[in-house]
Amino acid sequence: MTNALFTLDRFSISLFVVLCVAVAVPGQARSDADASQHERLDASVRVVAPMTLQIDTPQGEGALPVYANRDINAVAPDVKQVFIVIHGTLRNADTYFETGMHVLAKAGEPAKTVMVVAPQFLTTSDAKAFSLSPQTLAWTQEGWKAGDPARQPEPISSFSALDALLAHFGDRRLYPALSSVVVIGHSAGAQLVQRYAVVGREGGLVDAGIAVRYVVANPSSYLYFDRQRPGSKSDALASCPGVSRWKYGLDFSPPYVSSQSTADLESRYVARKVVYLLGTADTNPYTHYIDRSCAAMAQGPNRLARGLTYFGYLESRHYSGFDQKIVEVPGIGHDNLGMFTSECGMAVLFDQTLPSSCPVVDGTAPNIGTGRYSKAD
């Protein structure tokens, strides 16, 4: 069996190659782009989802806005699969819901028994701008991505909101034929999905016989389990006190996380079905709100490098019970529609055989720890 050092070396090479092809942005243009990005972040959402799901959590109750292609509270005896699509940093659940509908349109017959749901994690500014009910759940701009407690109406973690959303689909009176739920995120949504896959309780779906899978596409950062950051020098890590702070590590995590046994989190995570969907052209180190804090930069120079490095980190720590993989989407950058409607993305979402054009890094035996790229048959 190949040792951890070989695995990390291979990913260090990958990181170097990705860094070499990264697109540089001139200083003034970069400053203008940063200013424009901040303006968009500070603006309220364009539209609020038309439906709400009333959720009940240990921290209290609230209303979560959602888009769905069916009435969220109606009996759906023909639904066999649910896609829960998490929006990006602009909280544009409408855009991500449309992406989900494009996926269904492209899928054809298999889509007839699929329900698409896109929850919307609003901010207090959004709620004020639209004069929403005080029962509407709202977080800070960064808080919803990290599982922080909501600012209204009760301190409900975005993780607890996802628990309640998943639990809703465990109601056999509404969904008697449901067999699987796929939690899908791109960019900031993928940050939430990846961390939820580590710490989430999944609403009891597995106990109800409903499988849960996660698709993590092009996030800006990942949750690590210690201070090791392959490819980062020890002096750089020492000068970055936030490198192990939540949401990059487990230190100073929010109540939803700190209330759980940290010893169990990693072993549970690597046993969960997670696919890291990475665009091979998502290599720009400055655009699309990429996190450039020292804690994020310790994970790699851009999103593709960070994903490759993180998977190598997990491979080096687990030689059994690791059933996760990277699927690369050739030629696609930071584009949720392009990622999910690609041949590679469609195969991942519907758990189908991957085309030979989709490079795969597989964590399952017998390739575990070898770091070899494989192609699906």
Average of per-residue pLDDT across 328-348 = 98
Give the pLDDT confidence score for residue 41 in this predicted structure. Answer: 75
Average of per-residue pLDDT across 116-137 = 98
Q: What percent of the chain has pLDDT over 70?
A: 86
Per-residue pLDDT band at 54 (split at 50, 70, 90): very high
Per-residue pLDDT band at 233 (split at 50, 70, 90): confident
- Residues with Cβ within 8 Å of residue 328, at least 6 apart in sequence: 278, 279, 280, 344, 358, 359, 360, 361
Q: Is there a cis peptide before residue 247, judged by omega within 30 degrees of 0?
A: yes
Give the pLDDT confidence score for residue 5 in this predicted structure. Answer: 39
Q: Is residue 282 pLDDT above 90, yes or no?
A: yes
Per-residue pLDDT band at 36 (split at 50, 70, 90): low
Per-residue three-class SS string for the chain: CCCHHHHHHHHHHHHHHHHHHCCCCCHHHHHHHHHHHHHHHHCCCCCCCCEEEEEEECCEEEEEEEEECCCCCCCCCCCCEEEEEECCCCCCHHHHHHHHHHHHHHHCHHHHHEEEEEECCEEHHHHHHCCCCCCECEECCCHHHHCCECCECCCCEHHHHHHHHHHHCCCCCCCCCCCEEEEEEECHHHHHHHHHHHHCCHHHCHHHCCEEEEEEECCCCCCCCCCCCCCCCHHHHHCCCCCCECCCCCECCCHHHHCCCHHHHHHHHHHCEEEEEEECCCCCCCCCCCCCCHHHHCCCCCHHHHHHHHHHHHHHHCCCCCCCEEEEECCCCCCHHHHHHCHHHHHHHCCCCCCCCCCEEECCCCCCCCCCEECCC
- Residues with Cβ within 8 Å of residue 111, at least 6 apart in sequence: 103, 104, 105
CATH class, range 4-23+45-371 = alpha beta
Give the pLDDT confidence score for residue 28 in this predicted structure. Answer: 54
Average pLDDT, the chain: 88
Average of per-residue pLDDT across 207-218 = 97
Per-residue pLDDT band at 372 (split at 50, 70, 90): very low
Average of per-residue pLDDT across 34-51 = 81
The pTM for the full model equals: 0.88
Give the pLDDT confidence score for residue 374 in this predicted structure. Answer: 36
